[in-house]
Amino acid sequence: MQQENTHTFTVEDNESNIRADIAISRHFSEILNRSTLKKDLQWLKINDVLSKISTVVKSGDDLVFSILKAPAFEKVEPEDIPLDIIYEDESILVINKPIGMTVHPAAGHFSGTLVNALLYHCSNLPQLDELRPGIVHRLDKDTSGLMVCVKTQKALTVLSNDFKDRKIIKKYQAIVKGRLSSRAGLIETPIGRMPSNRKKFTVTENGKPSKTGYKVLKEYYDYSLLEIDLYTGRTHQIRVHLSSINHPVAGDPIYSRRNPMTDKLCLASVFLSFKHPESGKEMEFSLPLPTHMNNLLEKLNSTFL
C-alpha cells in the first residue's frame, strides 16, 4: 500500500491569482510537476478548507496537500558521510557544506546528500516535509560554505520563521569575470525558470522578486572579488543576477562560458548570523575562502602582476 507525503507552504506575492496546481508546481518544482500532481494528489486544503486544484490562490494563503509517495522517495536512508561541523548543541548544528554536495534528495539525487549525512549523525530530525529533515535553508550543489541545520521542532519553527522574515544574515564571497562599473550596488530583478530549460533560471518579468547586494573587495586584471548579501533566497540567485549584468561567477558551469582559470564554481557562503532558537543569543560564524578560490586568487595575483 502506497503512503502519502504531506507538504505545506504559504503563497507569495508573485504566486498570487493563479491556480493552486500551478502555484504548487512552481513552489515544489524540484520534485513535482503539474502532471504528477494531477495523478498523485490525494487532497488539498487552502486555509484549512478542502479545495480543488483549480482554485485560484491569493498571496498569504496557506496550502497543505498530500500526494502519493514516489517509490524512490519512500524512505531517505542515513548514510555515513563525514560532516565538517563548525558548531553543534542540542538544538542546532552549523556545518561547512562541501562543493558538489546536494542538500536534499530530489529527482536524480536520492543518496549522497546532506540530508543522508544528517540522518546518520542525528537519527531523529524535525521536518517540514519528508525529503528535508533538519533543513531550514539550502545552498546550491556547487556552492560551498556555512549552513545551519536543526535538531528540534522548536529550532525548526523558529529558524524557518526567521528565514522567512529575513532576520538571518548571510554573506557570500564570489570571484567574478570582469571589473564592475561601481564599487557597490543592488541587483533587483525577478528570477524565474527558463522556459526552454527547466533546470536553469533567468531574469524574467514573470519571475519571483529577487534582491542581491554586492561590494567589490578587490580587483584583478579581468576579475573581481565580491562580497555579496542575499535579501531573497531564489535558486541560483547570485549566479543568475551576476550573469545578468555580464559578470558571471568564475567556474560557473551553467551561467558562464568555460573558464580556463578554474573548473569549480567560485562562490562560497562565508558568514552566517542568527539568534539561537532556544536562548536568543546572537550567533555568528565565518569561514575563510575554500581552497579552490584561494588558488584562483593566487593564480590571478601571480599572472597579472
Q: How many helices (H) and strands (E) does the chain have?
A: 6, 17
Confidence of residue 69 (pLDDT cuts 50, 70, 90): low
Per cent of the chain over pLDDT 70 is: 92
Lowest-pLDDT choice from 42-46, 80-84, 197-201 = 197-201
Q: Which residues in 191-206 are b (16+ Cβ under 10 Å) and which e?
A: bbbeeeeeeebbbeee
Q: How far is CA 93 from each of CA 89, 133, 218, 283, rounded to the nearest angstrom?
A: 6, 13, 32, 12
Sheet strands (E) in 2-140: 4-10, 18-19, 41-46, 49-50, 56-57, 62-68, 85-88, 92-97
Q: Which residues in 272-300 are b (16+ Cβ under 10 Å) and which e?
A: bebeebeeeeebebebebbebbeebbeeb
In the predicted model, what is the mean pLDDT of residues 279-300?
96
pLDDT, tens only, 128-160 = 767 788 999 989 899 999 999 999 999 999 999
Res 239 pLDDT > 60: yes
Q: Tell me the one-letter amino acid at 38.
A: K
Is 252 catalytic? The answer is no
Instruction: Give the H/E segment covering residue 26.
Output: helix 20-27
**What is the structure's pLDDT at 34?**
77
By the 10 Å C-beta count (0-12 exposed, 13-18 middle, 19+ buried), 38 is classed as: exposed
Nearest to 126 by CA among 252, 55, 118: 118
| pTM assigned to the model | 0.77
**What is the structure's pLDDT at 93?**
97
pLDDT mean across residues, the chain: 88
Catalytic residue selected from 61, 140, 142, 252: 140
Nearest to 201 by CA among 21, 19, 12, 30: 30
Nearest to 247 by CA among 270, 271, 214, 269: 214
**Quick one: CA dihedral 240, 246, 249, 250, positive or negative?**
positive
| Calpha distance 39→35 (Å, rounded) | 6
Question: For residue 91, which phi and psi values (nearest 5 degrees)?
Answer: -110, -35
Res 59 pLDDT > 60: yes
**What is the structure's pLDDT at 305?**
52
Nearest to 63 by CA among 102, 8, 115: 8
Res 71 pLDDT > 70: no
- Domains of the chain listed by start with CATH number: 4-72 (3.10.290.10), 171-270+292-303 (3.30.2350.10)
| Calpha distance 19→266 (Å, rounded) | 39
**Quick one: CA dihedral 14, 160, 108, 98, positive or negative?**
positive
Write down the residue that cell numbers 569561514 correspond to: 287
